[in-house]
Amino acid sequence: MAKQLIGLTKPPARKKPFSEMSEAELTAYCDQQFESNCLKAKIGKWHPHELRHSAATLMLATGTPLQVVSAVLGHASIRITGDVYGHVLDPQRQDAADALAGVLYG
């Protein structure tokens, strides 16, 4: 029902099955389908990796421990997560986190 409400449709036929696609072909196909569905849902042009960053930022901004976010993202080390997203933990950036939450949650 949700798919019908936002106008998502079955993806077009592929020239070959997923099992026969190279990693590059599969990535390109999935990216194209994702972008197409975002546009149909009228949420703008998004790339899957942008959602990953948004999710990590929101988890940290709402108090999820850095170690948990690191595990969710599959980082080899918590240091990677801290280096990329550490700014979110800075109390002086709370206004930015509040603004992002306001945009996303109204």
Question: Is 85 within the bounds of a domain?
Answer: yes
Q: What is the mean pLDDT of the chain?
A: 83
What is the C-alpha to C-alpha distance for residues 8 and 43, in angstroms, rounded to an integer? 12
**Whole-model pTM over 0.95:** no
Question: Is 16 within the bounds of a domain?
Answer: no
Domain containing residue 97: 48-105
Question: Is 36 within the bounds of a domain?
Answer: no
Q: Report pLDDT for 5.
A: 47
Indicate the number of domains in the chain: 1
Beta-carbon contacts of 1 under 8 Å, excluding residues fewer than 6 positions away, are none
Is the confidence at residue 47, as pLDDT, over 80? yes
Which stretch of 2-6, 39-43, 78-82 has the lowest confidence by average pLDDT?
Answer: 2-6
Question: Is 86 within the bounds of a domain?
Answer: yes
Q: Report pLDDT for 44.
A: 86
pLDDT tier at 13, thresholds 50, 70, 90: low
Question: Is 96 within the bounds of a domain?
Answer: yes
